[in-house]
Amino acid sequence: MTHSQSARALRVLVYSDDAQTRAQVIGAIGSRPDPRIPPVSYIEVATAPMVFAQLDAGVVDAVIADGEATPAGGMGLAKQMKDELDPAPPVLVLLGRADDRWLADWSRADAVAVLPVDPIALPRAFVDMIGNAEL
């Protein structure tokens, strides 16, 4: 991580069609989940077109996508990001069931967490993903 990146917040896009899920994700991770990564700021979006509008605007460092969102699920969006963007931001997908891990692997997600939001497991998965990412 460069010095300039450590000086500014990490911009995290949180995608879900459910405002409560977005709020739970933001509440669980908070503004500073770990001292080894920059503070976190959030961009909340509820639709797939807005995800790509934000990505195209270049204002996203990482994505947390709700795999259960409708009509466009987070796994499909993760796969589309990985297929179409170079470089693609690191993506954490929220799974409805732990058994769906294979789908997250198909989507090329960098990390997963299970719904409902776990306030311990989600920040840990997010910090691990960011620590392994080349931002």
| CB of 14 closer than 8 Å to CB of 44 | yes
Tokens at residue 109, please? 């997600």
CATH (domain of 75): 3.40.50.2300
Cβ-based neighbour number of residue 21 at 10 Å? 21
Predicted TM-score of the model (pTM): 0.93
Q: What is the pLDDT of residues 110-119, one digit of tens each?
A: 999 999 999 9
pLDDT tens series, the chain, 135 aa: 433 444 689 999 999 999 999 999 999 999 999 999 999 999 999 999 999 999 999 999 999 999 999 999 999 999 999 999 999 999 999 999 989 889 899 999 999 999 999 999 999 999 999 998 877
Residues of the domain holding 97 = 3-132
Q: How many domains does the chain have?
A: 1
52 CB-near residues (< 8 Å, 6+ apart): none
| CB of 125 closer than 8 Å to CB of 95 | no
